[in-house]
Amino acid sequence: MASRARTPAADGEPGDEVLAARAQNGDRAAFETLVRRFTPRLMRFLLSRAANRADAEDAVQQTFLQAYRGLAGFDVRRRLAPWLLAIAARELARLARRRPPSAVALDGVAVASDPPADPGPVGLWVAARARLNPETCAALWLRYGEDLAPGEIAAILGRSSVWVRVTLWRALRALRSDLADVPAARAALVGERP
């Protein structure tokens, strides 16, 4: 993957941190470019954790508002993506705290009021979403979908770096054992011929 974490510019566009530095100096267009660039990525991350799409969208909006207000304090020598993703995770958690408890029917069965949030995982991510809990799946996505380091993932998820490493190891082991049970999947994955 051309590293998503430091979005550079394959086609000559300035990198994230360059745009952030310009935005710090009052270049609103640079910040708008960052909004366009990061909105899909933030949505992808938040949709895997949010209860519904509306929450994810609200969290994205709050993330950029917070980022705009706090951009003066951002160190442009660091990477922008983990910073934005950390804000996004915090905003989603804040929205979840404000949300009233989900509707519960009289017989105690939760009423599904919203459609599932994330429409489209692909390939192994389908299995990961089905097999792993949301936080583990988020850690896996940040590691292999966003190419973030375990320390950066730990800061985003509010966990320790050791927790991230162990969780990733367990997630891979779980996926591996699931796939090993399906010879065709394993063959397709490692290129074996039956």
Partner 1 sequence: MTARPSREFSADLVRQLRADARRMDLPAEPDLVARVLAALPRDGSAPQVATPTEPPRRSLRWVLPGVGLAAGLGAALLFRPAPAPPAAEPPTIQTAATPAPPWSVPAMDLPALVLSPMDQELADVAADLRGTLAVVANALPGPTIEVP
Site for partner 1, residues 83 to 102, rule: CB under 8 A: 87, 90
Please give the backbone phi and psi of residue 13, each rounded to the nearest 5 degrees, phi first: -75, 150
Nearest-CA neighbor of 31 among 90, 92, 72? 72
Mark 100-119 with x for binding to partner 1 (rule: CB under 8 A) and - for no binding: --------------------
User: Using the rule CB under 8 A, which residue among 5, 71, 95, 157 binds partner 1?
Assistant: 71
Q: Helix, strand or coil for residue 18?
A: helix
CA distance 177 to 154: 25
CA distance 111 to 6: 41
CA distance 40 to 92: 16
Inter-residue contact 103 to 95 (CB < 8 Å): no
User: Using the rule CB under 8 A, which residue among 19, 43, 80, 95 binds partner 1?
Assistant: 43
Give yes or no for residue 149 binding partner 1 (CB under 8 A). Answer: no
CB nearer to partner 1: give 107 or 192.
192
Minimum separation from the CB atom of position 25 to partner 1 (A): 6
CA distance 179 to 125: 12
Minimum separation from the CB atom of position 77 to partner 1 (A): 15
Inter-residue contact 88 to 45 (CB < 8 Å): yes
Q: Which stretch binds partner 1 (CB under 8 A): 8-16, 99-107, 108-116, 182-190?
A: 182-190
Give yes or no for residue 134 binding partner 1 (CB under 8 A). Answer: no
Q: Contact residues for partner 1 (CB under 8 A)?
A: 1, 23-26, 28, 31-32, 35-36, 39-41, 43-44, 57, 60-61, 64-74, 87, 90, 120-125, 128, 140-141, 144-145, 147, 172, 175-176, 179-180, 186, 189-193
